[in-house]
A and B are shown apart, each in its own frame.
Chain A
Amino acid sequence: MSLVINDLCVGCYACEPLCPNKAISAPLERGRPVFFINPDKCTECLGDHDLPQCAEICPIEGAIIDEYGEPLNPPGSLTGIPLHLLDLAREGECRM
């Protein structure tokens, strides 16, 4: 059992120091960190915390998913932006 960081991650480093298993690393690709959870080390914080720490602090909806591919922070759950307006929000994203 392990959580996964997908390519919605913006590389903010918030999760990395919180991981009780030091399972999160950030290899640099073209100067940008691409965060990665080592599945052999991740316990989803069982025994350490009530809730998985990476998902608790992650500011990006949908960036952390469980083994079934379900996001721990589904769309709208962090920003409060209503679902029907989220497309507008995505248009606003500026990714270089």
Chain B
Amino acid sequence: MELPVISNAAPAAASGCSSSGCGSAPDALAHLPDHIRAKVQDHPCYSEEAHHHFARMHVAVAPACNIQCNYCNRKYDCSNESRPGVVSELMTPTQAVKKTLAVAAAIPQMSVLGIAGPGDPLANPERTFETFRMLSEQAPDIKLCVSTNGLSLPDCVDELAKHNIDHVTITINCVDPEIGAQIYPWIFWNNRRIRGVEGARILIEQQQKGLEMLTARGILVKVNSVMIPGVNDQHLQEVSKIVKAKGAFLHNVMPLIAEAEHGTYYGIMGQREPTALELEALQDACAGDMSMMRHCRQCRADAVGMLGEDRGDEFTLDKIDTMEVDYATAMVERAKVHEQISAELEMKRQLRAAPRFQPELVAIEAAAPALRNVRIAVATKGGGVINEHFGHAHEFLVYEVGPQSARFLGHRKCTPYCMGDTSCGDGETVLAGIIRSLEGVEVLLASKIGFEPWGDLEKAGIQPNGEHAMEPIDEALRAVYDELAAAGKLAAAPVTAGARAAA
């Protein structure tokens, strides 16, 4: 029997599913030295466990960019889309600081402020570092991080270190200039636009140099890669090996977003996006080499709130102008909330570390050792519990659950089945889309599931289940798996979707 193995996981941690909300996260980070774990445990973008409890925000202070990517459209001013590089309101550093303080006071779980665009933060060094400088003075309890394409990174490393920014994300899509030329049509370098392979070669050199300089200074580096089928999908395993060897501590392989209506090169040219299963397979292939991140939501450059949610509308420039923020008082409240969350997470960690005797599980396995793994989808609003109605879910978290452990595979985005009374007429096609996005999933857990979608889910071979409402995700996954095992539904050979539908 093949157990789900989490990259670099300590054996003790592999007893997985007794854990907090999220299968793989604590395990995936288990190999890290304590001082690094301490740095990421409240960072929702770096720790999968933390992302159920802590919130983040991006401020859009960095509009300029020094390269062009084929998945990006620089006419970024759009309020209806959620993807990187898109913002509604560009801000000055002063406005950004005001917004950050207002959000931090209103959402005490907010632990991290990132600058991610809409251009490249390090192509706007004055605006970016002015924002960081003011924030480190006025809100010392907020972690600062930045993401970059890497072209200007070597020139900015000293400045980053000075502002105590210890989380940097570099987007590295390739280490081969020939592949790079298919992703980056040009870069701006030494006062010229440089196209094709030569431009890609310089960009790759700068990215790798920047990565080495950051890790040499002990600054944590996450590497993002966009998976582009037919362009770099075969190549990303090599990228993963190289960046890990150079000290990146987390690799985040994200799916290409390419739709014609976004007006990007890839969108217009019909470049296809990877399927959820293709993405999972590549993440698994890279996982042999390093910790993989699977909970990325590919946020907008002005996102506010928990990952996967955006409360930006509550904090527009007009609205924050009217807000009075007493940050000294807010900081006391924030410290309390953070302490509570951290204590809760620490308790879960200890529970996880303690060996547990599970007589039922042992009995089942002794009788039928060849149990297969099951993909289970979960609807959650956060907090690590099953607390979202099926009809309201914008995404489902997908776990692979086996006899010994559960691991988080990723999230599947969807249009909510029920957007409210008015759009329910659309429900049928929306439901078909949701079912398609749940490819490979056998059980769906939500706090509540309506009669109509229930029947269609069943027909598609996905068993809906509302019995675990408000339960911690990990406990529910374990309970459902054990039930399936006890009912004899987990014989070793996986049942194909077709066979399930026919049954």
Contact = CB atoms under 8 A, between A and B. Distances in A.
The answer on A and B forming one complex is yes
A79 B68 contact: yes
Interface residues of B, number: 37
Contacts of A33: 90
A11 B192 contact: no
Contacts of A80: 70, 185, 265
Do most interface residues of chain A lie in helix, strand or loop, or is the interface mixed?
loop
A47 interface: no
Nearest to B191: A49
Given A14-B65, A31-B317, A78-B185, A57 B193 contact: yes
Contact of A92 (B70, B193, B263): B263
B265 A14 contact: no
A1 interface: no
Nearest to A90: B263
Contacts of A60: 74-75
A14 B191 contact: no
Interface in B96-147: 119, 123-124, 126-127
B192 A50 contact: yes
Contacts of A51: 191-192
B66 interface: yes
A47 to B, nearest CB: 13
A31 B188 CA distance: 28
Contact of A12 (B65, B80, B265, B268): B65
Contact of B68 (A50, A78, A89, A92): A78
Chain A interface bracket (under 10, 10 to 19, 20 to 34, 35 or more): 20 to 34
Given A31-B89, A90-B263, A14 B68 contact: no
A44 B81 CA distance: 37
Contacts of B119: 12, 14
B85 to A, nearest CB: 11
A91 B90 contact: no
A31 to B, nearest CB: 7
A96 B126 CA distance: 28
Contacts of B262: 92
Nearest to A86: B268
A36 interface: no
A24 to B, nearest CB: 12
A46 interface: no
B272 to A, nearest CB: 16
Contacts of B269: 81, 85
B63 interface: yes
Contacts, number: 90
A39 to B, nearest CB: 22
A25 interface: no
A79 B265 contact: yes
A53 interface: yes
Contacts of B188: 14, 56-57
Contacts of A79: 68, 70, 185, 265
A78 B255 CA distance: 24
Interface string B64-92: 11101010011111111100000001100
Interface string A33-69: 1000000000000000111010011011000000000
Nearest to B123: A14
Interface string A2-19: 000000001111100110
A54 to B, nearest CB: 11
A17 B79 CA distance: 28
B460 to A, nearest CB: 32
Contact of A89 (B81, B90, B193, B263): B263
A94 B265 CA distance: 15
B89 A56 contact: no
Interface in B243-284: 260-263, 265, 267-269
Given A12-B119, A51-B192, A89-B263, A95 B77 contact: yes
A29 interface: no
A57 B79 CA distance: 25
A51 B192 CA distance: 7
Contacts of B417: none
Contact of A53 (B63, B73, B74, B191): B191
Given A85-B268, A93-B263, A94-B80, A59 B65 contact: yes
Query: Shortest 9 CB-CB distances between A and B: which pairs?
Result: A92-B263, A14-B64, A94-B78, A59-B74, A12-B63, A89-B263, A57-B188, A92-B261, A13-B64
Interface of B: 63-66, 68, 70, 73-81, 89-90, 119, 123-124, 126-127, 185-186, 188, 191-193, 260-263, 265, 267-269, 317
6 contacts: A12-B63, A18-B191, A60-B75, A88-B263, A91-B261, A92-B263
